[in-house]
Amino acid sequence: MGYKNLFNFAREAEVILIMNGGENSLDKTFRYITQSNGGLFENSFIIATPEKATIYTSILEEETARNTGLDVKIFHGRREFEDLMKSALANSNTVGLNYSSLSLENYKTLLRIIPDKEFVDVSVSILESRKIKDSSEIKNLREAAKIASESIERVYSSLKEGMTEKEVAALVVYEMMRNGADGPSFSTIVAFGENSSQPHYSPGNRKLKKGDVVLIDYGALYNGYCSDVTRTAAFGKASDEAREVYSIVYRAQQEAMKLIRENVNGKDVDLKARNIIDSTKYKDTFIHSLGHGIGLDVHDHTALSPNIDFPLKENMAVTDEPGIYLPGKFGVRIEDDVIVKKDGFELISGGAPEEIREI
């Protein structure tokens, strides 16, 4: 269970208190500890020790909470909420908080309810725990990646001249949910032609026309876990330059992926892809890091970056996504999800074709 892993790192805390606010201030660690497949758990909290975790929530979430198999205590109003928290922490002096996700409003609330406690920041400890995925997390990540990989083909078969980027983005989400996703893991990027040179482009009303590069960056959410995949294709016949750029990006991705295994520095994996791209006439057009961790968040942690020493460990989940961006022309990015193994990696997102797909 997630709460037991937390104390492998957060030894400075007697207990860990995870507190949710409203819908816009929910801590993903709540899902990590409960492994719940439903419920919002707004204005709820968890108190975890190395021995057990207890969910404190309203009657609205009672059934969902009890389905987790954890201890559950129900409050019926704010006064009961506060009384339960005080009682549960009566014999604890040092309380670990996830400062990285705790809103200032909730922090002030805790200072009022339990002013006699010593608070310690365990956010780094939580991050360290979440980097290494257990078997159930990997199962969810595999399914999220599988859904994303299988959905793109029906999207491609539905493309028609005159469709807008927004229409295609909606189609991507529809196909993923049709294939079993709980929803998208982030806002889908669909970029046609010149718009594809912007890595974080937001789809608009640009219409699809023959010869366009079509870049789709998307991911499925499954049981709270994220996939993150990018595919680049051509609508109609690809230009010679698009073919050339795609070939370089594909080679950079594949050669970098071969380095992924336990104890390799993520910086060296990034450097491999960067050196391949920079050895061509497209030097300095790869303008972001090669990859990041995935999990409950689509950007779960640092992983493959040119400026950060990051030793890869078995059962981390990371992306591999080199790109070349030519402003005013087009961009090509290829992104896949992998699980780090002791002696290599497991590709969970299917893999892109070796040559640019013509639709």
pLDDT of residue 12: 80
Residue type, 281: K
Edge-to-edge strand order for the sheet containing 344-347? 317-320, 336-341, 344-347
Give 183: exposed, middle or buried? Use CB within 10 Å, 0-12, 13-18, 19+. Answer: exposed
Structure tokens at 69: 């198999």
pLDDT of residue 1: 53
Which percentage of the chain shows pLDDT scores above 90?
94
Over range 244-265, report the average pLDDT: 98
Has residue 308 got a pLDDT over 90? yes
Has residue 295 got a pLDDT over 70? yes
Q: Tell me the pLDDT tens digit for each residue of 193-245.
A: 999 999 999 999 999 999 999 999 999 999 999 999 999 999 999 999 999 99
CB 339 within 8 A of CB 227: no
Give me the chain's average pLDDT, please.
96
Has residue 292 got a pLDDT over 80? yes
pLDDT of residue 7: 82
Over range 95-110, report the average pLDDT: 96
Q: Tell me the pLDDT tens digit for each residue of 18-70.
A: 999 998 899 999 999 999 988 999 999 999 998 999 999 999 999 999 999 99
Give the residue from 190, 170, 173, 134 showing the smallest Cα distance to 314: 134
Q: Show the domains of the chain with their CATH numbers.
A: 2-131 (3.40.350.10), 135-358 (3.90.230.10)
pLDDT of residue 2: 62
* pLDDT band, very low/low/confident/very high, at 149 (cuts 50, 70, 90): very high
pLDDT of residue 27: 95
